[in-house]
Structure 1
Amino acid sequence: MSETRPVLLAMDFQQGIVDRAGGGPALAAVSRAIEAARGAGIPVMYVRVAFRPGYPEASATNRTFGAISQAGDTMTQDHPATQLHADLPTRPDEPVIVKRRVSAFSGSDLDVLLRGAGANALILAGISTSGVVLSTLRQAADLDYALTVLSDACADPDEEIHRVLTEKVFPRQATVTTTDEWVKSL
């Protein structure tokens, strides 16, 4: 049996997303997970969603991002709203991946970084549960990663959707646990 080589992905914990999505408790949980991961020698990577000025990546036919140009420059890669949240305990040696779609894999160099790290397992945390976490989990499962979702380090504007995903959908492809239980298992 091969050795497990996990990476913790902290996804879309951005200035403009955390407060809007009620992600304060999830931000606190992922901060605990980050510190524990570092202590256990588990690499941490951050993912954020942002676009180039003028939004050339956002096709008008894309229901999620097609109207984003109407948001002015608030979702461009240099805007303060797309930067990692100030309360996230980042370090300069931990990669920040910029994605151009909902999944952390789509339109980013995440796959290259994970291969470089020799990762075969992912611990997922993010905002929103029905967005980046769901899309990344599905794609990562198809890529044969072993998956863990830290349910309290995820948040969604719709609490019922969060509950259904973490209790009924995600367990089909991932271990779903709380941050504190995960930390105890390290």
Structure 2
Amino acid sequence: MGNSALLVMDVQRDIVDIADVGSGYLPRLRRAIDGARAAGLPVIYVVIGLRPGRPEVSPRNKVLTNAVRAGLFTEGEPGTGIHDDIAPQQGETVITKRRASAFSGSDLDLVLRTRGIDSLVLTGIATSGVVLSTLCQANDLDFGLTVLADACLDTDPEVHQMLIDRLFPRWAEVVTVEDWLADITPR
């Protein structure tokens, strides 16, 4: 798996409030985070944050324009913060991005390359947003890729399942949190 890092993407208060996390999603994600820490893997958080006044949002960007109308993603607002149930520990990196992909408008690639990270384990909300966009870009950047199927969530369960079952396996290893933990836990 190379030098890996766990990416925890867009698990922010407002996004968690919109998504259906009642299926044990946050405890499962917390288990993946705790397992990564125990195995000595870096946990890197990625959040979407837009500047006040949103100068980075074009009216042609349908998703961001709708989010802005809903009052989402303004930097410094409480809802833009990482959800308390999976909060970073002191010293863990938090990356702010400006678009769907964790790489877009951020210094994620620089942080990864500086640390010698060449493989990523992807988690987050939404499967059809940040996870899909980051997976595509990370694949083009030649990262080794793993997607934790049950640590990704989408507001549309059918879209989530189609991506997990049909598209993501073309570019990444797709496993459950428990199977991944079994692979990284020292025996």
Q: TM (normalized to structure 2)?
A: 0.94
Distance 1:23 1:172 in 2: 27
Question: Match for residue 46 of structure 1?
Answer: 45
What is the distance in 2 between the residues matched to 1:84 and 1:68? 17
Deviates more, 1:167-176 or 1:80-89: 80-89
The verdict on how the C-alpha distance between 1:184 and 1:173 changes in structure 2, with shifts beyond 3 A counting, is same
From the superposition, tell whether residues 33 and 119 of structure 1 become closer, same or farther in structure 2 (CA, over 3 Å). same
Match of 1:158 among 156, 168, 178: 156
1:67 shift after superposition: 4.2
Show CA shifts across 1:79-136 (max 9, x none).
1111000111420110111111000000111111111111110000000000000000
Query: SS state of the match for residue 85, structure 2?
Result: coil
Q: How far, CA to CA, are the matches of 1:185 and 1:67 in structure 2?
A: 40
Cα distance in structure 1, aligned partners of 2:131 and 2:59: 24
Q: Aligned partners of 1:67 and 1:46: how far apart in 2?
A: 24
Q: 2:57 corresponds to which residue?
A: 58
Deviates more, 1:26-35 or 1:161-170: 26-35
Residue identity in the other structure for 1:82: T
- 1:164-175 alignment, distance < 5 Å: 164-175=162-173
Partner Cα separation in structure 2 for residue 87 and residue 69 of structure 1: 25
Structure 2 CA distance for aligned equivalents of residues 89 and 57 of structure 1 = 26
CA distance in 2, matches of 1:137, 1:143: 10
Note the aligned Cα RMSD (angstroms). 1.3
Q: How does 1:1-186 map to 2 (within 5 A)?
A: 4-24=2-22, 25-72=24-71, 74-186=72-184
Post-superposition Cα deviations, 1:38-92, rounded to whole Å, max 9, x if no partner, equal 11110010001110000011011112213444334x4211011110001114201
SS in 1 for 2:95: strand
Aligned residues: 183
Percent of pairs with identical residues: 50
- Amino acid aligned to 1:27: L
**Alpha-carbon distance between aligned partners in 1 of 2:86 and 2:45, rounded to the nearest angstrom:** 10
* AA aligned opposite 1:32: R
**Which structure 1 residue ranges, 4+ long, deviate > 4 Å from structure 2?**
none
